[in-house]
Chains A and B, each alone.
Chain A
Amino acid sequence: EDQVTQSPEALRLQEGESSSLNCSYTVSGLRGLFWYRQDPGKGPEFLFTLYSAGEEKEKERLKATLTKKESFLHITAPKPEDSATYLCAVGYTGGFKTIFGAGTRLFVKA
């Protein structure tokens, strides 16, 4: 069964305390793995697309990596404004359908 699982469900960090969020997936024919940030009451904001194992993308304090079975979103020296829910999704063959993970809620305390 095609599936996307994110862990942990919630993560509490002190400002400056680096950590990683995990997204594991089982789909056939991966077309792309997507990371988003979602603030409460708003639509998700697209962050990255990763296409193949070994690929890395960076944006400010965020760095996304991809293997054949999982992706990591590394957050370096987070700030309180990085607090949000981070969503992972995979696009797979058969169309432009995507499967979303349930998200990781990140809280960064000053």
Chain B
Amino acid sequence: DVKVTQSSRYLVKRTGEKVFLECVQDMDHENMFWYRQDPGLGLRLIYFSYDVKMKEKGDIPEGYSVSREKKERFSLILESASTNQTSMYLCKSFDSSSYEQYFGPGTRLTVT
């Protein structure tokens, strides 16, 4: 019954490292999203993609980039990790006709 998977549950990286977070969905959804969730700030949208190779900035894109080369896969890249990017990262897959949507289990990233 796997629907959305994320490459790691927990990740520890050093400041300045390049970090890749990967999300894979098996529902053939066009739309995929990356959020971060922080206590007191809720979920905030980083980037989303509505088709292969298409992307749009969310509310907090600074310091992040994304890649969508295949429909089922959406990657979030931290070009040079910083301590303020320590957070829970959540991927979402979304069907715009039915509004069916699923989140992945999340990746808790710690940058030291």
The answer to whether A binds B is: yes
Interface size on A, residues (CB 8 A): 21
Tell whether, in the assembled complex, residue A44 and residue B90 are in contact, meaning their CB atoms are under 8 Å apart. Answer: yes
Chain A residues close to B by CB (< 8 Å): 32, 34, 36, 41-46, 49, 87, 89, 91, 95-98, 100-103
Chain B residues close to A by CB (< 8 Å): 4, 31, 33, 40-45, 48, 50, 56, 58-59, 90, 94, 96, 99-106, 108
B42 → chain A, closest Cβ, in Å?
Answer: 5
Q: How far is the CA of A46 from the CA of B43 in the complex (A)?
A: 14
Tell whether, in the assembled complex, residue A97 and residue B48 are in contact, meaning their CB atoms are under 8 Å apart. Answer: yes
Q: How far is the CA of A89 from the CA of B43 in the complex (A)?
A: 10
**With contacts A43-B105, A96-B50, A97-B58 known, is A102 near B99, CB below 8 A?**
no
Tell whether, in the assembled complex, residue A43 and residue B90 are in contact, meaning their CB atoms are under 8 Å apart. Answer: yes
Q: How far is the CA of A87 from the CA of B105 in the complex (A)?
A: 16
Contact pick for B94, options A96, A101, A103, CB 8 Å: A96
Tell whether, in the assembled complex, residue B56 and residue A95 are in contact, meaning their CB atoms are under 8 Å apart. Answer: yes
